[in-house]
Amino acid sequence: MRIDKFLADVNLGTRSEIKKIIKQKRVRVNDEIIRDPKIQVDLESKVYVDDSLITYQRYFYYMLNKPQGVISATSDTSARTVLDLIAKKDLVKDLAPVGRLDKDTTGLLLLTNDGQLAHDLLAPKKHVAKLYQALIAGVVDEQTCESFAWGLILKDQTQLKPAQLEILSVDLNKEQSLIQITISEGKYHQVKRMFGAVGMKVLTLKRLKMGNLTLDQTLRPGQYRPLSMDELAMLKQS
């Protein structure tokens, strides 16, 4: 590949900025100073910028603990997006969230520039499971769990796939329930609409797991980190 693309892929700058760096004779491939941005290099070449060895990485994978009030988009004219939480040095080309969490939904969100993996995780035929924890206005009981397990029909007559609903605790005085729910679809406002269909309301919603990837509980809201090699391998098996 061309040296300017190599350096752009590792987020060293824009094409114009990289051309300027090359013109300043700051780029070396093996022992040769590069003056032409069109020079071809392979991934076995040792590329240096200012004598620092540059390791090539095409795809990047970040786990974000999404906070409330941030939208799952790459850009917006009025609201903060999840990309606004990413440091400039990590904002690689084509980085985007995999799927969407509502503005007021928190928890696990994967960001990557690996379009194929994103497609695989979101493809309806893959049925990648997603686990959420929610506080519900209403008393969730075994009958509710059975209804979810059979597959709800929403108010607009949308038929949903079976979902696994687990009751963690119930406060009868407040008429609130803490639950976990696993779904294998990603319909618009799905969890909120599911509880609306049984006369209840979601007060808080947090995603804990997507496929084989589990939210790192040490990440505070708004924090992120790269996936480990083990996490990435498990995610690709989802």
Would you call 52 helix, strand, or coil by DSSP?
strand
Q: Counting Cβ atoms within 10 Å, is residue 163 exposed (0-12), middle (13-18) or buried (19+)? A: buried
Other Cβ atoms within 10 Å of 84 Cβ, number: 14
Nearest to 76 by CA among 110, 37, 103, 108: 103
Strand positions, DSSP E, 1-43: 27-29, 32-33
User: Catalytic residue positions?
Assistant: 102
Q: What is the side-by-side order of every strand in the sheet holding 52-54? A: 32-33, 27-29, 47-49, 52-54
